[in-house]
Amino acid sequence: MTQHPLSAVVIGNESLLVQCAEIWQARGHSLAAVVTRSPEITQWAKDKAIQVLSSDADLDADLANIEFDWLLSIANLDVISDAVLALPKLGAVNFHDGPLPRYAGLNAPVWARMAQEPEHGITWHLMQSGVDQGDILIQSGFDISDADTALTLNTKCYSAAINSFPDLVTN
């Protein structure tokens, strides 16, 4: 990404979206809209006077009239249409809770734990048609301990996402 002020639409339903959105704003960038079905994220966005759209709405139509540089999909499990992916001026980026391409798809931490992997990690990647496709921008790995569960791996994924997001914003 670049250093001059940018605008983004963020889409997701978990607290990680808020944490990354706040880092985005702290870097001097703006949020054109938040797309979510989470009541907590909706309230957060309304408190900040940011437009909120429901994940269940017709996003092709609702986002078509909003100008924005980046679409940031953060802890979002919904597949985003090609029409929406084409809307941002500069591109669309997704957070994935696993190292791509090895652990694409849902529940990557669960699969890594079941496979008794010694390491796991997260990926920020450009989005294109297809799930978990697109060029990798940043990957951040961490060790898996014998005591780790899918829940603790999810926590480690969120921590890695928060720690790597500032690098994504400045790339």
Alpha carbon of 6 to those of 60, 67, 73, 80, 117: distances in Å? 21, 11, 16, 21, 38
CB 22 within 8 Å of CB 46 = no
pLDDT at 115: 94
Distance between start and end Cα atoms, the chain: 5
- What's the number of CA atoms in the CB half-sphere (13 Å) around residue 111? 11
Q: What is the pTM assigned to this prediction? A: 0.93
- CA 98, CA 110: separation in Å to the nearest integer? 10
pLDDT per residue as tens digits for the range 52-100: 999 999 999 999 999 999 999 999 999 999 999 999 999 999 999 999 9
CB 156 within 8 Å of CB 165 = no
- What is the residue-averaged pLDDT of the chain? 94
